[in-house]
Each structure stands twice: as C-alpha cells, then as structure tokens.
Structure 1
Amino acid sequence: MVREGSVSAAAKELRIAQPSLSNQLRKLEARVGVELFARSAGGMTLTPAGRIFLDGVETIPTQFRAAVANAVRAEHNWSIGVCSGVPSHVIELVERALERQARDAMGTSASIELRSAGSTRQATLLEHGELSFGLARLPLDNDRLVAAQVWREELGVVVGKHHPFAAGPTVTWSQLVTQRLLWFDTAKAPLYASSLLTALHAAGWAPDLVVADTSRHILFQHLLQTNPDLVSLRPRSAIEPDPILQWKSISDGPALEERLGLTAMQGTGYAEIVQRAAVASGWLPGI
C-alpha cells in the first residue's frame, strides 16, 4: 500500500480482493493501536507512526532468512526425498557431497534420512519444511526450487529375459513401434513425463502406456517378465546387475537421457548448501 498509494491498487498488485485487504489493514491498526495511514482523496500516505512501524518491520524478512540459515548450519538431521528408480550409487554420491558440506563448510556432522517421494510430492514437502532436500528427475516445473544436476545417464530399453528383444545386443526405434511402455503416475513428475513422451513421439514411437506403481522392484520385474510386448525405459545403472531383466541401448536415431537433480527451496539455508555442494562437486545448475 505504501508503494501503490491506495488499497485498491495494492489489492490488484497482490491479487486479492480489496475488502479483504482493507479488513486486514483495520485489524493491523487495531492491534498496533494507532493509525498507520492517512486517507485522502488523493490516496493513502503513511502517518508518522506508520513510518516508524514500517522501518521496524522491514527488517523482519532479512532477520527471518538469517535465522533459518543459522538453524540449518546447526542442524544435524537432514532429510532427502528420493523419487523411485534412483540408482543407489547416485544416492551415495549425494550423501557424500552433503556430508562434506556439513564437515568442511559448517564444522559439524550430518545425519541423513532418506524418504521416498515423487518429484511433485517432494516440492510440497520442501515448501512445508518437512524435507531438507529432494532428489528428483529433471526438468522440474517448480520455479520456487533451486536445483543442481548431480547425474545424467543414457536411457535404454529394459525387457524381461524371455522378451523377443533379449536375444539382440541393441534395439532400434522401428522395433519399438510394436511395444507398449511400462509407465508411471505422470502426476509424480509431470514435466519430466511430458518431455520424455515428446522425445518418443519425435522418434516415431507413440506407445500405449501401461501405468503401474513400480516403486517395488519385484513388481517391475514381474510385469516385464510376463508381458512379451512390454518394455520400460531406465538408465543401465538402475537395472544391472539383475538376473531377470536385460538392458538394451537404442542404436539408431536420437539418444535419450535421464537427469537427476538435488533440490531445495529458494531462500533457505538448504538452498545455499545445494549451491555450495554444486560448486565443490562440479555439478551443473538445472531445473
């Protein structure tokens, strides 16, 4: 209201109803016990008391962010949300990088807890402070997060050992046209899902999607082993070694890849840790 000069202009800028903002102002003035604004036909200006009040509260956001950052530096227990299918060596890589940050940059140690959560769910938990970090597939569709790309790897075709593709060393795009694709709940990683499907369509494959919860590897194995026209797309390191499944590269046309990123909420101490870890580890920024 100070910047816009009126309740109506401020309400428009904040995208809330004018009566609601007027009511909030009345409650604030009642709580403080003085008039904060002088009203006139030309608009609203701060009273002397309002100016003193504004000078006092303007520092609160900075103080709050500093308090959060200090709390993070003292915190020993960090939680990481991990989406399904992340290779164990990538999780270990992230854990080591965070432990180095705790030890070298903050002079403390970190106890790290892993929690299973899809990319979309991670964003909600990060925003509510229920997770410290997320480990999710890129790209993300949330501009409130900062991310560093910690891993990238070629996507290949995964089949059961009795699948017709199992006998060959590679798979071609023309062979995939006859196959259904084992898929996941798109809501868990919508931007990653749409970008991958776009790449498949560009390569000439518009597969029928078989949506299933494959967070349990035994179910993932069973579906691929018992369906001779069903394949999945995964990085090789997420599959091998596996006595039941086989990984095949796509030998022609555009290559596919999976990118994984370490994320945190912008403006938090955790975001600062992600950025420092990225510099120390040579990770690329990425959303």
Structure 2
Amino acid sequence: MAQLDGIELRHLRAFLAVVEAGTITGAAEDLRIAQPSLSQQISGLERRVGVKLFHRNARGVRLTPAGDALAAAARKAFSVLSDGLDAARSVLVEVVVGLCSGVPGELLHRLRAEIDGEVRFEPADSAAQPGLLRAGALDFGVVRLPVPLEGLEITVLVEQPLGVVVHLSHPLAGVSTVDWNSLEGQRLLWFSEDRAPGYANAVLEHAASAGWNPVLHRAPAGHTLFTYELSSQRDLVALRPSADDSELVWIPFAQNPPVERLALIRKGFAE
C-alpha cells in the first residue's frame, strides 16, 4: 500500500475530470476551482505516480499509456467505492429496545415502524432500564413510569386508566363499574415491586388515598398463573388496563382511577 501514500480521492477525481474534459481549463470549470490549482494537483499526482499521465499540446491534453491505465483503474475504484457505500447504507443498524412486561402488541408494532434500524426487543424490568441505557446496553427503553430519569429523555407512549380485573365467578363480575368502597375486604393480586418500584408505589399510594389499603397477594409472574390465581380465590382482584382472557372481566372505576403510563426513554443528547 506504500505506492498509495499521498494519493487521495480528490487527486483521482481531478485526474478523471481532466480526462473527461480533455483540457485543464474545462476540467477546472467543471470542478469550480482555479486552473492553476488544478494544474498543481495533476502535476503532484504525476510526481506521486512517477510517470507522465498526459501529453500536453495547444489543443489540450491526451492520455499517455500510463495515464490510460490509471484512468481505467480509477474509474473501477470509484465504481467499487460507490457500490460499497450503497451496500453500507442499505444495512439496517440493530437497535436494542428494553421492554417491560405487559406492553400491548400494537405498541410494539408502532415502535418497530417508527424507530430507524433493525429493532430487537430485550425483556428488562422498568427499574433496571435507566441503568442499562446509561451503560450503553440499550438504545431505548419502554418502561412503566415513574422511573429515575436523570440524564434521560422521555416520550409518553400510552396513558390509560387501570380497572379492576376479576374472574367470571367473582361476585363483582356482573357490575358495570366499581368504586373504591366496593373493594373493601378484597385482596389485591400483586407483582414483585422490585420490577417497577415507582409504579408499584404510585398505584398503592393512589389506592390508599382513595381509602383502600388491600392485603397484597403476591404471585409469580405469568399469564397462566395470573388467571389461575383469580379463578381460585373469590376475594382476589387485580388492577390492570385490560383483561386479555375470556375467563376474566375488566371493570372500570366510576371515578378516580389509577393510571398506567408507558414511556419510551433514551439517553439525553447531553450525555
């Protein structure tokens, strides 16, 4: 590669411009540079190559055999480079998106369409995602708010009220709405708070402010177990934005429902 030392793309571009124009003056006009500057570039290229590239006469320039060989190689090099750039631009960059549990499928399709690149969703608890973003392990994160947002940008994607989810056999299954008083004596099917402590605290504090301080019944994560727990205990309810199971009923609050907010987070530009 030592023979390429000092030869830059601009030198070869200038050389081919002279070949196409047939004169230094015409090539300088095409390149929009001064003729003396272009002449210096061609002379410098000839010094670096070590041979004359043009025969010069009163009518312009004509390629020498060495120049003809270099012109063919330069055209090929520019063609290969152009193809390489097109290939590089066509490759989708992988974008890793952290994903908390229970995100609706339509939101995933929306994110895949809106994010440039080849999206790969990586399951991760809301509590862990800010740290993973700051460490560079994630490009984006989908979390349940609130989470610590120092140094992060946030876009709220979904804001929806929670309702009461019960099994079809539950005494509340036939009502059209619930109020907080009707939940008195009901236990709450709950998840491990360390997955989304901010969200867990916000929901429980909202319930407490409305007068309901339920006994928490914790169960392992999983849709099958979720439905099973609600079907086997008549004093057990859950708080969810929906109930995606034919055995379950979702009942809206008549007023003052807790709210779930799903957000897209990423590192701030200042980081």
3-state SS of 1:95 partner: helix
3-state SS of 1:119 partner: coil
| Residue aligning to 2:113 | 96
| Residue aligning to 2:225 | 219
Structure 2 CA distance for aligned equivalents of residues 173 and 153 of structure 1: 18
The yes-or-no answer on 1:86 pairing with 2:103 is yes
Q: Which amino acid aligns with 1:80?
A: V
Contact 1:94-1:150 within 8 A present in 2 as well: no
Q: Which has the larger radius of gyration?
A: 2
| Residue aligning to 1:203 | 210
Q: TM-score, normalised by structure 2?
A: 0.63
Correspondences of 1:171-182 after superposition (within 5 Å): 171-182=178-189
**Post-superposition shift, 1:263?**
0.7
1:243 pairs with one of 243, 246, 251: 246
Deviations 1:114-141 (A, max 9, x none): 1111111212222221111110011212
Q: TM-score, normalised by structure 1?
A: 0.59
1:189 pairs with one of 188, 196, 210: 196
Output the aligned Cα RMSD.
Answer: 1.8
Structure 1 CA distance for aligned equivalents of residues 140 and 220 of structure 2: 23
Contact 1:136-1:263 within 8 A present in 2 as well: yes
Deviations 1:248-281 (A, max 9, x none): 00114x122111100112237xx9xxxxxxxxxx
The yes-or-no answer on 1:266 pairing with 2:268 is yes
Name the count of aligned residue pairs.
181
1:148 pairs with one of 143, 155, 160: 155
Deviations 1:145-204 (A, max 9, x none): 221101111110011111111122222211112111111111221222212111101100
| Residue aligning to 2:165 | 158
Q: Which runs of 4+ in 1 moved over 4 A?
A: none
Structure 1 CA distance for aligned equivalents of residues 227 and 200 of structure 2: 21
Contact 2:186-2:236 within 8 A present in 1 as well: yes
Contact 1:153-1:235 within 8 A present in 2 as well: yes
Structure 2's unaligned 5+ residue stretches are 1-90
- Identity over aligned residues, as a percent? 36
| Residue aligning to 2:234 | 228
Structure 1 CA distance for aligned equivalents of residues 135 and 218 of structure 2: 29
Structure 1 CA distance for aligned equivalents of residues 231 and 113 of structure 2: 35
Structure 1's unaligned 5+ residue stretches are 1-73, 103-109, 272-287
Contact 2:130-2:148 within 8 A present in 1 as well: no
1:167 pairs with one of 170, 174, 186: 174
Structure 2 CA distance for aligned equivalents of residues 211 and 172 of structure 1: 23
1:120 pairs with one of 127, 132, 136: 127
Correspondences of 1:251-262 after superposition (within 5 Å): 251-252=254-255, 254-262=256-264
Structure 1 CA distance for aligned equivalents of residues 269 and 146 of structure 2: 20
Correspondences of 1:4-15 after superposition (within 5 Å): none
